[in-house]
Homo-oligomer: A and B are copies of this chain.
């Protein structure tokens, strides 16, 4: 067995153990096609490293032939602590997972302002991850990895933020700054990508290899899964949806361009419409506007209806371009429900190329920020597992 084969074997077996929760050695061999002898060797290494552990089944479930308790393997929860966080407009949601992916603690904190200096935000996050670990009697230093989801244009493999509403500067090596400040491995990605990953790992995307997640918060985000992988584009700024254009030279967007989808469907877009219709007198909030639209207010109705149609047009373009199996509309704010409405999805269905096959399924998944943070933690967990297996390679070799 070459070093390379052993490394692949280790990765394959560990992934299989994680996937099954608990599994006997013999099934590992059957599922992966790796010989029993190699399974025994590799699992012994994983046990020695403390990454997995043996658990004995209940006495009722004995190995019939030998009359002794069946021994399963499972990931050892205590092996690592993993943190994940999602930065929203003015708050941070954090969760702490063990190495099995079980949630141990969560934490929710306010931010004083939306956009922060990168180094300030890194310090703030370091403090909060420390506080989170303290909830289970541990410290920041005990955390093996931190996953962070942030809005904006993020080159995840490089940990580079082209632009984010949470940062005062553009073009920030934010991954490096976080790693330096927290002194633990940090894994950074666009928040919508992490939601897509979470949907794939433990949400509505389970069992689907090709789907799109559209997130609606203060902006519109997108995560695209193609062939079981997050699609990232070649410059690290792929899968942008909120700033695709739905109207040539249309409404002015906060990004400085015109006609972006967000300039029609974001909260600020609805508010400025109401303001312009009233000559600057309308001081209603978004939830009030939506409520008024429901109760027959003509101006509010017109504003909300156009947002829905523009959103449907954007979705229809995604369907035409990707032809996905499934679209998941994810978000925590109830106020996006006008965009999730059946009327909107029906408009989308009319705007896609008509073939004699059912259009892709569209499902709505209302997430709390805790779930976004769990997606970030799941991303870190994958990466920490990979690091643990790599470190092992060095020990053993």
A contact set with B: CB distance below 8 Å:
153, 162-163, 170-171, 210, 226-227, 231-241, 243-248, 255, 257, 259, 309-310, 313, 316-318, 320-325, 350-351, 353-357, 360
Contacts and interface: CB of A to CB of B under 8 A. Distances in A.
Nearest to A324: B234
A265 to B, nearest CB: 12
A186 B232 CA distance: 35
A238 B162 contact: no
A317 B245 contact: yes
A238 B323 contact: yes
Contacts of A170: 356
B321 A241 contact: yes
A257 to B, nearest CB: 7
Nearest to A210: B234
Given A245-B351, A247-B247, A317-B317, A162 B239 contact: no
A152 to B, nearest CB: 10
Contact of A309 (B244, B248, B355): B248
A316 B245 contact: yes
Given A226-B231, A248-B246, A310-B248, A356 B323 contact: no
> What are the 10 A-B residue pairs with the smallest beta carbon separation, nearest first?
A233-B323, A238-B323, A162-B355, A240-B320, A244-B317, A234-B325, A235-B357, A244-B320, A245-B313, A243-B353
Q: How many copies does the complex hold?
A: 2
11 contacts: A233-B324, A235-B355, A237-B355, A238-B323, A239-B321, A243-B320, A244-B317, A245-B316, A248-B313, A318-B321, A321-B321
Nearest to A231: B226
Nearest to A209: B234
A308 to B, nearest CB: 11
Contacts of A226: 226, 231
A88 to B, nearest CB: 21
A360 B236 CA distance: 12
